[in-house]
Amino acid sequence: MAIIPDQKDWTWVLERPCPECGFRAGKATPATAATMLPALLPRWQTALRRANIEERPDPGTWSVLEYGAHVSDVFEVFTARLELMLREDNPTFANWDQDQASIDGNYSSLDPEEVSSELIQNGLDAAAAYGAVPEEHWERRGLRSNGAEFTVVTLTGYFLHDVVHHLHDIDA
């Protein structure tokens, strides 16, 4: 059974604390990402060492392994989006279908150790990339393919929320 494609728009998390995970995305800056991401990575590492991480709690919910592979990709996608915003004026991001990515990337049959080491590396790369953005570039803009507009600052909050919220999803 496939997960139902999630078309939910999460941009509201920039306006108020997330009622599920409690994260205040509106307070985040690229400097937050630089310190917060390295601190969050060990929680992912520990979760990916659990037993039976390839099992879904129910057919419509990703397994810990799938969430880990997803977040590893999130690090890559949001680092690429940041680089695009710094390189081009008001770029539009390529659409990223997360559910299709999980199928194409074969998340459910990946090796947990490989997912874990890739997630750590991608997370550290993201922390370094966000940490290196000088403050005068924090208001540079980018558009999602659905028209939602981000600055470097709001993209950071949106991105960090994803990483924190999925730790909440897997109880880690």
Interface residues with Zn ion (CB under 5 A) are 18, 20-21, 165
Contacts of 169 (CB under 8 A, 6+ apart): 61, 62, 67
Q: Measured from the CB atom, is 24 or 141 closer to Zn ion?
A: 24
Distance CA 103, CA 133 (A): 33
Min CB(168)–Zn ion separation in Å: 6
Min CB(58)–Zn ion separation in Å: 20
Residue 161 tokens read as 């929320």
Question: Residue 48 carries which side chain, given as an amino acid letter?
Answer: L
Min CB(125)–Zn ion separation in Å: 23
Min CB(4)–Zn ion separation in Å: 19
Q: Measured from the CB atom, is 25 or 69 closer to Zn ion?
A: 25
Q: Measured from the CB atom, is 21 or 128 closer to Zn ion?
A: 21
100: DSSP letter: H
Residue number of the CB closest to Zn ion reads 18
Distance CA 154, CA 145 (A): 16
